[in-house]
Chains A and B, each alone.
Chain A
């Protein structure tokens, strides 16, 4: 159950805080100039490219991941081929590796 006294106290604090409206006139000075400058800045093509490249980040990340997977896959295939070749003809592999002088 709410304490009526604390409720009344809270209401009184709300009323006092409501009455203390902030004086923002100093910060408001020249505000529209700052906003228009920022808009001009954000409308520049450079910033659009930056925005687009950030938005393309997941795509780039997926490409890099795909490349890594592909490389690992290729490497394991080459390893398999090398192992098969060495099992079939060890001397051929040695000559490829330049071990035979």
Chain B
């Protein structure tokens, strides 16, 4: 059984999980949750959705753990699952359409995912509203590139799109965002 706050390498914890030690997977979750939360928070609308996305990521990671070949760090593999999950949620939201009301958010114990600014920042609020208007693919690529500071190569590996494809999508996303910013009052 893996001890609390284990210093074992990820690969060892993966092997332990595969041999039936669920505590090893709990340690992997503890170790990587902040990174997953950090990325997912860029896409989630509220605390509840953020928790759902992150749980889905780790549940999928657990059931697909045999597919982790170990030729790249576990975190990279986990980030790929996170990217796919965030994209799935963006697509579901686009299909679902309706936005969550403020009342529903407050009832669910919602706290703003981004820390509330000390001073109102209308330009940044407008920016986030415009970002939410982008298509799932545009939102994904621009968030990873500009907000998560990922390189084109990294985004290509995370999404499975070619580098050229990522470049084109990022260019279009930026143009769409600029246009939305100009038209949003």
Contacts and interface: CB of A to CB of B under 8 A. Distances in A.
Given A6-B178, A10-B181, A35-B55, A18 B149 contact: yes
A24 B41 contact: yes
Contacts of A39: 22, 25, 59, 62
Contact count band on A: 20 to 34
Contact of B147 (A14, A36, A38): A14
Interface in A1-48: 2, 6-7, 9-10, 13-14, 16-18, 20-24, 26-28, 31-32, 34-36, 38-39, 42
B113 A22 contact: yes
10 contacts: A6-B178, A13-B181, A17-B127, A18-B146, A18-B149, A20-B117, A21-B41, A28-B37, A35-B29, A39-B25
A27 B26 contact: no
A32 B30 contact: yes
Contacts of B51: 27, 31, 34
Nearest to B30: A32
Contacts of B182: 6
Nearest to A15: B146
B70 interface: no
Interface of B: 22, 25-26, 29-30, 33-34, 37-38, 41-42, 47, 50-51, 54-55, 58-59, 62-63, 111, 113-115, 117, 121, 123-124, 127-128, 146-147, 149, 174-175, 177-178, 181-182
B59 A42 contact: yes
B178 A27 contact: no
Given A17-B127, A18-B149, A27-B51, A10 B177 contact: yes
Contacts of A22: 37-38, 41-42, 113-115
Contact of A13 (B34, B114, B124, B175): B124
A27 B124 contact: no
B25 to A, nearest CB: 8
B59 A38 contact: yes
Interface of A: 2, 6-7, 9-10, 13-14, 16-18, 20-24, 26-28, 31-32, 34-36, 38-39, 42
Contacts of A16: 121, 124
Given A17-B146, A34-B51, 7 more contacts: A10-B181, A13-B127, A20-B124, A24-B37, A27-B50, A31-B51, A39-B25
A36 B59 contact: no
Contacts of B178: 2, 6-7, 10
A24 B123 CA distance: 24
A32 B115 contact: no
